[in-house]
C-alpha cells in the first residue's frame, strides 16, 4: 500500500537488532517540540510548518537560502522581467510630464509678408483682437523681432552684415479653447489673408508626438502583460521544482491526513517571497537605470535652458509594482501546488 | 468498523485487483489479511484509506460510506486511521521525533501537546532514547517501530498495517505483532496484511484469505 518512494533508500544499516527495549533516558520536558534547544533550532525550523504565519514565512525564507545561487538567479530573472516594462513606463511618464507643459495651449504664429509695414501689421493685430474666438493676440514688430533674435541667438553680428532686417513681423495668437479640427480650420482661414505669409499651428508636431506616445504606451502594456505572464511561469516552475524535492514529505503528509491547504501553505509563502524579492529588486533596477540616465538628461535639459527633474516611480507606483509581483507569485505557487495535488488524487 | 459490500476494483489495464469482496470487521476486532503478493491485499487497504476508490460496491468505515466523501473530506477520514507501511515511509531529512510528531502537527496540536504525545508513542515502541536520531541510522526493525509510533501517535480508531514484518526476522516479527496485540487490547481495531503464514497461525486471530482478488475464507471464529 505504501508508495515505493523509500525503496531506494532502504539501505539503512541493520545494525544491532536488540530485542530488549533500550533503557529510557531522562528527556527535558517540552524542549524539542518547540525547537527551543539552540542546537536543534535552525534544523527544526526546516522541519515542519507551524500554525504561526510568521514562523511559516521564516521557514519558507530559510528554504530559499538553502540554495542561494539558484534563488538569486530566479530573483534576477524576475527583477529583469519586472524592470523592463517598469523602465518603459517611467520613461513615458517623464515624456508626458514634458509634453503636457507644451500642449497646454495651442498657439498659431502668423508670419507676415516682409512687404507688410508696421502700421498694416498693427491694424491686422487690432482686427484680430476683436475676434471672439481668440483669447490673446500679441504683435511682434519686425524691429522687436530683430532685437529678440539678436539677444537670444547670438547671431546678431551676422544680421548686421546683411544690411537689412530679414525678420518678418509675427502675430502670436492664442485661440479660445476649441477642438483640434476647429484649430486647423482657423489656421487655414488665417493663412488666406493676403498679409500673412504663413500661419503655423504648433499643435501638429505635438499631435505627432502624442500618437507616437500612444503607440509606445500600448507597447508598454503589451510588454507588461507578457512579462507578467513570464513572472507567473517562472515562479510557478520554481515552486514546482521545490515541490519535486519535497515529494516524499508531501506523500507522507497526505497519507496521514494533511489537507490540501496544509500542503499548499508553505509553497504559497515561497511564491510570495519570490514575488516580493523580485519586485523589490525590479524596483532597484528601475532606480539604477534612472540614476544612469539622470546626468545626460540634466545635460540635455540644460541645453534647452529648462529645469527638468527626472521622475522615478512614486510610492503608489512602487506599491503597485511590488504588489503585482507578490500577487503573481501567489498565483504561480497556487497553480503549481494545485496541479501537483490533483496528480496524486485517488482514482 | 469496516464493511465491504460486493466491492470490486479493476484498473485501466484490465487487471481485476479485487472482485466481489464482502466482509465486516467489528469495532475493537483484530484480523489478518493474507494471500500471495498480487492477491489484492494492498488494494484492499488502499480502498479503506481512500488512496483509491472501488470500481463497484461500497466501502464503509466507522459507518461512513466512503463513496459520499469528496476530495476535501479525505484528509479528515485519514486522520481516523493509523497506517504502518510496508517500507515504513519515514522521512530521512528529519529526526525520529519529527517523523512521529508529523501527524499531530497536521491535525493542529500545539507544539507542547504534540511533543508530549509523540514521546509517549515512542516510549510505547521502546525508542524514546532514539528520538533525536535520524531514522537512517536505525536498524530495519527500529525503523519499522518508528513507523508504528507514527501510526498510533494520534490514537486512531483503526490501525492498518501492510506487511509490517516484511523485512524482519522471526523474533523481531513477534515483537512487532505483540505491539499490535497490545494496541488491540486497548480497543483499537487492527487489520494487518501479511503473507507470513507461520506467524499468523501462532497469533490465533481472525484471518481473511485473498486469492487473485477473491475472498477465500473469512476465518471468523
The complex scores an ipTM of: 0.88
**Stretch A95-102: mean pLDDT, rounded?**
72
Rounded to 5°, the CA angle A328-A329-A335 comes to 85
Residue A43 resides in a domain: no
Please indicate whether residue A198 or residue A276 has the higher confidence score (pLDDT). A276
Name the domain boundary from A201, A227, A257: A201
Q: Is B89 helix (H, G, I), strand (E, B) or coil?
A: coil
Minimal Cα–Cα distance from B221 to chain A, Å? 27
pLDDT score, position B29: 92
| Residues of chain A positioned with their CB less than 8 A from the CB of B106 | 253, 256-259, 262
pLDDT score, position A102: 60
Please indicate whether residue A263 or residue A151 has the higher confidence score (pLDDT). A263
| Residues of chain A positioned with their CB less than 8 A from the CB of B52 | 346-347
> Which of the four pLDDT bands, split at 50, 70 and 90, describes residue A28?
very low
What percent of chain A has a predicted confidence (pLDDT) above 90?
Answer: 29
| Residues of chain A positioned with their CB less than 8 A from the CB of B97 | 32-33
- Tell me the C-alpha distance between B46 and A14, whole Å: 29
Q: Which residue in the set B92, B107, B112 is minimally distant from A30, CB to CB?
A: B112
**Phi, psi torsion values for A105, nearest 5 degrees:** -130, 115
Residue A281 C-alpha cell reads as 529588486
| Residues of chain B positioned with their CB less than 8 A from the CB of A32 | 97, 115, 131-132
* Residues A309 and A218 both lie in one domain: yes
pLDDT at A70 over 80: yes
Which residue in A22, A248, A256 has the most chain B C-beta atoms within 10 A of its own C-beta, making it the best mutation to test that interface?
A: A256
Domains of chain B: 2-217 (3.40.50.300)
Name the domain boundary from A183, A201, A219: A201
* Residue located via cell numbers 514565512: A57
Element (H, E) at A66: helix A53-66
| Residues of chain B positioned with their CB less than 8 A from the CB of A13 | 137, 139
pLDDT at B132 over 50: yes
Domain that includes residue A167, residue range:
107-201
Residue A266 resides in a domain: yes
Sequence-distant (6+) residues with CB within 8 A of B195 are B34, B35, B36, B37, B41, B163
Starting at the earlier edge strand, list the strands of the sheet with B64-65.
B16-25, B2-10, B56-61, B64-65
Please indicate whether residue B19 or residue A13 has the higher confidence score (pLDDT). B19
Interface contact A2-B118, CB threshold 8 A: no
pLDDT (tens digit per residue) in A277-319 = 999 999 999 999 999 988 888 888 777 766 677 888 899 999 9
- Cα distances (angstroms) measured from residue A320 to each of A283, A317, A323, A325, B210: 11, 5, 5, 8, 63
pLDDT at B1 over 80: yes
Q: Closest by alpha carbon to A117, among A143, A155, A86, A152?
A: A143
Starting at the earlier edge strand, list the strands of the sheet with B189-193.
B81-84, B158-162, B189-193, B30-34, B206-211, B214-217
Domains: count for chain A: 2
Torsion of CA A118, A121, A123, A126, to 10 degrees: -120
Minimal Cα–Cα distance from A259 to chain B, Å? 5
**Phi, psi torsion values for B194, nearest 5 degrees:** -160, 150
Please indicate whether residue A156 or residue A319 has the higher confidence score (pLDDT). A319
Name the domain boundary from A149, A172, A201: A201
* Residues A197 and A310 both lie in one domain: no
Residue A152 C-alpha cell reads as 537670444
Interface contact A2-B46, CB threshold 8 A: no
Q: Which residue in the set B92, B94, B141 is minimally distant from A17, CB to CB?
A: B141
Minimal Cα–Cα distance from B219 to chain A, Å? 23
Amino acid at each position: 500500500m505504501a508508495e515505493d518512494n523509500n525503496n531506494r533508500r532502504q539501505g539503512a544499516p541493520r545494525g544491532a537488532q536488540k530485542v530488549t527495549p533500550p533503557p529510557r533516558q531522562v528527556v527535558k520536558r517540552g524542549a524539542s517540540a518547540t525547537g527551543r534547544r539552540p542546537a536543534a533550532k535552525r534544523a527544526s525550523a526546516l522541519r515542519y510548518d507551524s500554525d504561526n504565519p510568521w514562523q511559516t514565512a521564516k521557514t519558507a525564507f530559510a528554504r530559499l537560502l538553502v540554495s542561494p545561487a539558484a534563488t538569486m538567479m530566479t530573483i534576477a530573472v524576475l527583477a529583469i522581467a519586472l524592470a523592463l516594462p517598469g523602465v518603459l513606463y517611467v520613461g513615458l511618464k517623464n515624456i508626458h510630464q514634458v509634453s503636457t507643459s507644451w500642449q497646454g495651449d495651442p498657439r498659431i504664429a502668423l508670419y507676415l509678408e516682409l512687404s507688410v509695414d508696421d502700421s498694416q501689421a498693427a491694424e491686422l493685430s487690432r482686427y484680430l483682437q476683436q475676434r471672439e474666438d481668440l483669447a490673446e493676440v500679441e504683435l511682434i514688430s519686425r524691429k522687436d523681432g530683430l532685437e529678440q533674435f539678436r539677444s537670444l541667438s547670438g547671431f546678431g553680428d551676422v544680421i548686421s552684415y546683411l544690411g537689412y532686417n530679414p525678420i518678418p513681423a509675427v502675430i502670436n495668437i492664442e485661440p479660445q479653447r476649441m477642438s483640434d479640427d476647429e484649430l486647423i480650420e482657423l489656421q487655414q482661414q488665417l493663412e488666406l489673408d493676403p498679409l500673412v505669409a504663413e500661419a503655423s499651428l504648433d499643435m501638429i508636431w505635438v499631435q505627432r508626438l502624442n500618437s507616437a506616445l500612444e503607440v509606445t504606451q500600448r507597447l508598454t502594456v503589451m510588454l507588461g502583460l507578457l512579462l507578467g505572464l513570464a513572472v507567473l511561469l517562472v515562479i510557478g516552475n520554481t515552486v514546482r521544482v521545490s515541490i519535486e524535492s519535497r515529494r516524499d514529505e508531501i506523500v507522507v503528509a497526505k497519507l496521514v491526513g494533511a489537507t490540501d491547504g496544509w500542503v499548499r501553505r508553505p509553497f504559497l509563502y515561497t511564491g510570495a517571497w519570490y514575488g516580493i524579492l523580485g519586485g523589490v529588486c525590479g524596483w532597484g533596477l528601475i532606480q539604477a537605470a534612472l540614476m544612469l540616465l539622470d546626468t545626460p538628461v540634466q545635460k540635455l535639459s540644460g541645453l534647452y535652458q529648462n529645469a527638468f527633474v527626472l521622475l522615478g516611480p512614486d510610492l503608489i507606483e512602487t506599491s503597485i509594482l511590488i504588489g503585482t509581483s507578490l500577487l503573481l507569485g501567489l498565483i504561480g505557487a497556487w497553480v503549481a501546488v494545485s496541479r501537483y495535488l490533483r496528480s496524486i488524487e485517488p482514482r | 468498523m469496516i464493511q465491504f459490500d460486493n466491492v470490486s476494483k479493476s484498473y485501466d489495464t484490465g487487471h481485476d485487483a479485487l472482485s466481489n469482496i464482502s466482509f465486516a470487521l467489528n469495532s475493537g476486532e483484530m484480523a489478518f489479511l493474507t494471500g500471495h503478493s498480487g492477491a489484492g491485499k494492498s488494494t484492499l487497504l488502499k480502498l479503506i484509506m481512500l488512496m483509491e476508490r472501488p470500481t463497484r460496491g461500497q466501502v464503509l468505515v466507522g459507518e461512513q460510506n466512503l463513496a459520499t466523501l469528496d476530495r476535501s473530506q479525505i484528509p479528515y477520514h485519514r486522520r481516523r486511521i493509523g497506517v504502518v507501511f510496508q517500507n515504513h515511509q519515514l522521512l530521512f531529512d528529519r529526526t525520529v521525533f519529527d517523523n512521529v510528531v508529523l501527524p499531530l502537527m497536521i491535525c493542529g496540536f500545539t507544539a507542547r501537546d504534540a511533543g508530549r504525545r509523540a514521546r509517549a508513542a515512542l516510549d510505547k515502541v521502546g525508542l524514546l532514547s532514539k528520538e533525536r536520531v535520524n531514522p537512517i541510522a536505525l536498524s530495519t526493525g527500529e525503523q519499522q517501530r518508528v513507523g508504528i509510533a507514527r501510526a498510533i501517535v494520534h490514537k486512531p480508531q483503526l490501525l492498518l498495517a501492510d506487511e509490517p514484518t516484511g523485512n524482519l526476522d522471526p523474533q523481531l516479527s513477534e515483537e512487532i505483532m505483540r505491539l499490535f496485540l497490545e494496541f488491540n487490547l486497548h480497543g483499537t481495531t487492527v487489520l494487518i496484511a501479511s503473507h507470513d503464514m507461520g506467524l499468523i497461525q501462532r497469533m490465533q486471530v481472525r484471518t481473511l484469505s485473498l486469492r487473485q482478488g477473491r475472498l477465500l475464507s473469512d476465518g471468523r471464529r
